[in-house]
């Protein structure tokens, strides 16, 4: 009979304690990733908070900054839906109304969760590097249990993406010099806005919730050919979801920055108008 | 001939320490070969568990320079020559002796998962499943039960007290294989949420990083299971839809209604959209 090493009883109780307490330090530079994530996300949050609150230089005809889209207050130089939903009484930045939607989408995204649980919460800072806190309940309790509502933020992210795509189309329609008509054209800003919606689209449609809703919930794909093909397409995108998360984050920030410096007159937008 | 120094953890459940062994090595050796050299030349009583030396039995799991790896699949030429290489037993479980740990935690957890229960046969007396339906679960069947994912998972590695409530990534792979199987009739959703502790996982992906079979544990097993749990327990629209329209299938033919033989049976649930 196999020897009982005194662990069996503990196992039955469900707890088998690890006995090796020596911590072998990881010899590689594991801290690079958390440092990079904290720096990039921190910088992005600071920049977007400032850009969203300054309430100026977010429009340079025909370019609208993604931080301010849809623009729904009467103070907007370009009101997205034609009529403003919020009147003159609103004295603050119109970005305040919409910034929350992309924010919660990214905050509850499975990829960003992985990144900030590691980099900000140190749970764990890197694989085999011990957790910073003694107690851990993961996503079983408030507030983290709310991460389960990620699919609702996806429902909101899709229309936002559609509006940004509409903005990108408008970025190819330029006013004539005398402001009496419009002409098609291409400017550096149009291309930047197009790239931005492409990255945001790839990010939004490679989402894990999207993958589930498209067909991942099925156990049998026979009789559901469209859902099967959709699911397969999203699967392929989904393997690069992390990459799209970063690319779209950078592209949103840089699009705003570009429109801002053009609007401030620091740079002349190179463009060809037909 | 070159030499290598292994810093091997020696001890038992009462404690232990690292000891250095310098042995001759040949080209093409893996860490397990060098451990065998140590046994042969320096420490015949060194305990190590291994079997296939081909990365397929999952026996030789250990931590090499602190990283959970299979000793038989870790080539010596991936390390700087002359640098001592530490080899210790997997940390999340109790040590029996030297590099051998007691992984019975995993066997106990395995017992808590209801096995596959086949759906009733179709009218023509057969059960059918199609390639596109089984493809997804084939990945999960590559698991060699090395328990490296269990070892690296911080939920139990750093918090022994969670072992009661959390089964670990290897069992989420198993549960995903069963739950997504086109012919399985058991329902394990409440079990997954409440007893297997899926919510403890914070999708930090260390299990995926160490899996020697390259199973995309987090992306393909854990997150899809989390989404299914959301539909079942957290999505108010899915709940409302259930109330109004009743349960409908995850693409299951009506003939495949679960039989009375499976106590966990129910018709599965589509999401709210
Ligand atoms: S992804 Fe989840 S199961 Fe895998 S190691 Fe991280 S916490 Fe554990
Ligand atoms: S899922 Fe991968 S790491 Fe985990 S036990 Fe199976 S083969 Fe090993
Ligand atoms: S947006 Fe990242 S998982 Fe949904
Ligand atoms: S000896 Fe079989 S996996 Fe290493």
Residues in chain A within 8 Å Cβ distance of B184: 219
Would an 8 Å CB–CB cutoff place A180 in contact with chain B?
no
Task: Name the residue with tokens 């260390």.
Answer: B206
3-state DSSP call for residue B33?
A: helix
Tens digit of each residue's pLDDT, chain B (273 residues): 799 999 999 999 888 999 999 999 999 999 999 999 999 999 999 999 999 999 999 999 999 999 999 999 999 999 998 899 999 999 999 999 999 999 999 999 999 999 999 999 999 999 999 998 899 999 999 999 999 999 999 999 999 999 999 999 999 999 999 999 999 999 999 999 999 999 999 999 999 999 999 999 999 999 999 999 999 999 999 999 999 988 765 655 444 444 333 434 444 444 554
Lowest mean pLDDT of A11-20, A64-73, A136-145, B249-258, name the range.
B249-258
- pLDDT attached to residue B71: 98
pLDDT given at position B261? 39
How many residues can be counted in chain A? 274
Atom 3 of ligand 4: nearest residue by CA position? B55
How many Cβ atoms are within 10 Å of B184's Cβ, its own excluded?
A: 23
B73 alpha carbon – ligand 4 mean position (Å) = 8
Tell me, yes or no, if the pTM score tops 0.95.
Answer: no
How many CA atoms are closer than 13 Å to the CA of A221, on its beta-carbon side?
A: 20
Report pLDDT digits (tens) over A203-248.
999 999 999 999 999 999 988 999 999 999 999 999 999 999 999 9
Q: What is the predicted pLDDT for the residue at B250? A: 65
Average pLDDT of span A30-50: 96
Q: Is the pLDDT of residue A16 over 90?
A: no
Q: pLDDT tens, A41-72?
A: 999 999 999 999 999 999 999 999 999 999 99
Element counts in chain A: helices (H) and strands (E): 9, 5
ipTM of the complex: 0.91
Rg (CA), chain B: 22
Residues 6+ apart with CB under 8 A from A192: A251, A254, A255, A258
Chain B contacts in chain A segment 72-111 (CB below 8 A): 110
**pLDDT at position A21:** 73
Count contacts between A and B (CB, < 8 Å).
Answer: 204
For residues B155 and A140, give the distance between their C-alpha atoms in angstroms, rounded to a whole number: 12
Longest pairwise C-alpha distance within chain B: 76
Nearest to A15 among B86, B160, B227 (CB): B160
Percent of all residues in chain B with a pLDDT value above 90, rounded to a whole number: 86
CB-CB under 8 Å, B133 with A221: yes
Candidate of B67, B165, B176, B207 to mutate for ligand 1, largest count of ligand atoms within 8 Å of Cβ: B207
**Atom of ligand 1 minimally distant from the CA of B217:** 4
Alpha helix (H) residue ranges in A13-94: 32-54
- Please tell me the residue having the least CA distance from ligand 2 atom 3: B211
Stated as kind and residue range, the H or E segment containing B23 is strand B15-25
Q: Which chain A residues contact residue B67 at CB under 8 A?
A: 26, 127-128
How high is the pLDDT of residue B62?
97
DSSP B198-250: GGG-----HHHHH-TT---IIIIIIHHHHHHHIIIII-HHHHHHHHHH----S
b/e burial code for range A208-222 (CB count within 10 A of at least 16 → b): bbbbbbbbbbbbbbe
**Cis peptide preceding A88, ω within 30 of 0:** no
The full set of domains in chain B, from first to last, is 2-101 (3.10.20.30), 104-256 (1.10.1060.10)
Residue whose CA is closest, atom 2 of ligand 1? B201
| Band of residue A88 on the pLDDT scale cut at 50, 70, 90 | confident
Q: Of B13, B202, B231, which has the smallest distance from its Cβ to A217's Cβ? A: B231
């Amino acid at each position: 009979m196999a020897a009982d090493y005194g662990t069996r009883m503990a196992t039955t109780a469900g707890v088998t304690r690890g006995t090796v307490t020596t911590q072998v330090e990881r010899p590689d530079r594991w801290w690079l990733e958390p440092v990079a994530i904290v720096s990039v996300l921190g910088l992005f949050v600071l920049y977007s908070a400032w850009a969203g609150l300054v309430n100026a230089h977010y429009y340079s005809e025909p370019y609208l900054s993604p931080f301010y889209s849809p623009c729904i207050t009467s103070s907007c130089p370009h009101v997205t839906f034609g009529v403003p939903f919020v009147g003159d009484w609103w004295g603050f930045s119109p970005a305040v109304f919409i910034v929350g939607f992309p924010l919660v989408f990214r905050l509850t995204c499975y990829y960003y969760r992985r990144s900030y649980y590691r980099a900000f919460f140190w749970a764990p800072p890197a694989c085999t590097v011990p957790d910073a806190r003694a107690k851990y309940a993961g996503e079983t309790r408030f507030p983290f249990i709310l991460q389960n509502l990620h699919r609702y933020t996806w429902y909101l992210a899709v229309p936002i993406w559609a509006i940004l795509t509409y903005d990108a189309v408008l970025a190819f329609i330029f006013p004539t010099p005398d402001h009496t008509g419009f002409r098609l054209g291409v400017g550096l800003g149009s291309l930047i806005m197009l790239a931005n919606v492409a990255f945001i689209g790839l990010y939004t449609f490679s989402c894990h919730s999207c993958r589930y809703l498209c067909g991942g919930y099925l156990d049998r794909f026979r009789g559901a050919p469209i859902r099967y093909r959709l699911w397969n397409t999203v699967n392929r995108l989904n393997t690069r979801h992390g990459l799209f998360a970063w690319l779209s984050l950078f592209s949103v920030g840089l699009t705003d920055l570009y429109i801002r410096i053009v609007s401030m007159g620091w740079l002349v937008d190179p463009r060809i108008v037909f | 001939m070159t030499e290598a120094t292994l810093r091997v953890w020696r001890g038992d459940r009462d404690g232990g320490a690292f000891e250095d062994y310098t042995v001759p090595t040949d080209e093409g050796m893996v860490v397990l070969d060098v451990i065998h050299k140590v046994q042969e030349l320096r420490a015949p009583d060194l305990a190590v568990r291994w079997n296939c030396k081909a990365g397929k039995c999952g026996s030789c799991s250990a931590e090499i320079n602190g990283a959970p790896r299979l000793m038989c699949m870790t080539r010596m030429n991936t390390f700087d020559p002359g640098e001592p290489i530490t080899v210790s037993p997997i940390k999340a479980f109790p040590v029996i002796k030297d590099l051998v740990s007691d992984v019975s935690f995993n066997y106990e957890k395995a017992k808590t998962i209801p096995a596959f229960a086949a759906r009733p046969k179709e009218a023509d007396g057969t059960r059918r499943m199609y390639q596109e339906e089984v493809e997804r679960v084939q990945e999960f069947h590559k698991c060699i039960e090395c328990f490296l994912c269990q070892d690296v998972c911080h939920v139990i590695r750093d918090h022994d007290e969670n072992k009661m409530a959390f089964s670990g990534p290897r069992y989420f792979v198993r549960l995903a294989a069963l739950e997504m199987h086109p012919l399985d009739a058991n329902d394990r959703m409440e079990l997954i949420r409440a007893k297997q502790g899926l919510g403890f996982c914070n999708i930090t992906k260390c299990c995926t990083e160490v899996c020697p079979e390259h199973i995309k544990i987090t992306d393909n097993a854990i997150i899809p299971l989390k989404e299914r749990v959301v539909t079942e327990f957290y999505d108010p629209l899915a709940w409302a839809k259930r109330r109004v329209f009743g349960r409908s299938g995850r693409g299951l033919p009506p003939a495949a209604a679960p039989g009375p033989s499976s106590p966990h049976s129910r018709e599965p649930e589509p999401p709210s959209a």
